Amino acid sequence: MTGTASPYARDVVRLESVRKVYGRSKNQVAALDGVTIGLPRGTFTAVMGPSGSGKSTFLHCAAGLDRPTSGKVLLDGEDLSPLKERELTKLRRERIGFIFQAFNLLPALNVVDNVTMPLRLAGRRPKKAAVDEVLERVGLSARRNNRPGELSGGQQQRVAIARALITQPAVIFGDEPTGALDTYAAREVLTLLREAVREAGQTMVMVTHDPVAAAHADRVLFLADGQFVSHLDWPTADQVAERMTHLGAWGQDSAAVRAGHGVPR
């Protein structure tokens, strides 16, 4: 980028005044209520917030899976709003990686074929060296011919991480990527994600309910009622948990906060 580049050029993902409204008239819900935020290249961001605060909606809008009601989403400076469905699908396939709680692997395919699926869908021939490297990175070189059903949950999620990394996407979005894993496997997966950011300059955005998972991020953003209300840089899990408690995320406070501020608009 040159000196004339936008001051936001380092943001891989940028949302500007994004609103996402579901429903009609008095049943309307502003799931995102005017969100402006930039996610810089090579950073690991966790998004937390009480149930119903808009985390999934944020992820879906930021990843081009859903269109905002108003406002803009930019990926590497490119405005997604004018893109047609086919162009969005291509962009998601080629420039965005996804990791889901439920792994979403194809059960009939072995590890290598699952990992290389995004390349083949994009009409690109997988290079053996690149596949070997990504399997090595996630510690699955010895399991390359196994099917998902023959792997543990943590190993399956590592296959999904390899599948996300192989296209060298601009950004990887994780939707509760450790939600189905035990503590040990979750820590392994988070360490891998952290390394992909630190060593390979990957940009990573993860929605999570788990303060321990969030504490692996550089920055934790807190959503409440469709707006980012605060953040913590390099927090401990305890600091994240405390902030969540203040947002009324756990226990009786949660219902009180939602009833008080009213998520529906």
22 lines the binding site for ligand ATP (CB under 6 A)? yes
Q: 245 to 264, contacts with ligand ATP by CB under 6 A?
A: 263
Question: Strands 219-224 and 204-207, how do they pair?
Answer: unpaired
Rounded distance, CA 8 to CA 10, Å?
A: 5
Q: How many residues form the binding site for ligand ATP (CB under 6 A)?
A: 13
Shortest distance in whole angstroms from residue 141 CB to ligand ATP: 35
239: which 2 tokens? 């600091």
55 lines the binding site for ligand ATP (CB under 6 A)? yes
52 lines the binding site for ligand ATP (CB under 6 A)? yes
Beta carbons of 46 and 221 less than 8 angstroms apart: yes
Q: Which of 43, 45, 53, 157 binds ligand ATP (CB under 6 A)?
A: 53
201 lines the binding site for ligand ATP (CB under 6 A)? no
Shortest distance in whole angstroms from residue 65 CB to ligand ATP: 12
57 lines the binding site for ligand ATP (CB under 6 A)? yes
29 lines the binding site for ligand ATP (CB under 6 A)? yes
35 lines the binding site for ligand ATP (CB under 6 A)? no
Residue 122: CB atoms within 10 A of its CB come to 11
The b-or-e profile of 226-235 (16+ CB within 10 A means b, else e) is bbbeebbeeb
77 lines the binding site for ligand ATP (CB under 6 A)? no
131 phi, psi to nearest 5 deg? -65, -45
- Return the half-sphere exposure (C-beta side, CA atoms, 13 A cut-off) of residue 77: 7
**Which chain residues interact with ligand ATP by CB under 6 A?**
22-23, 29, 31, 49, 51-57, 263
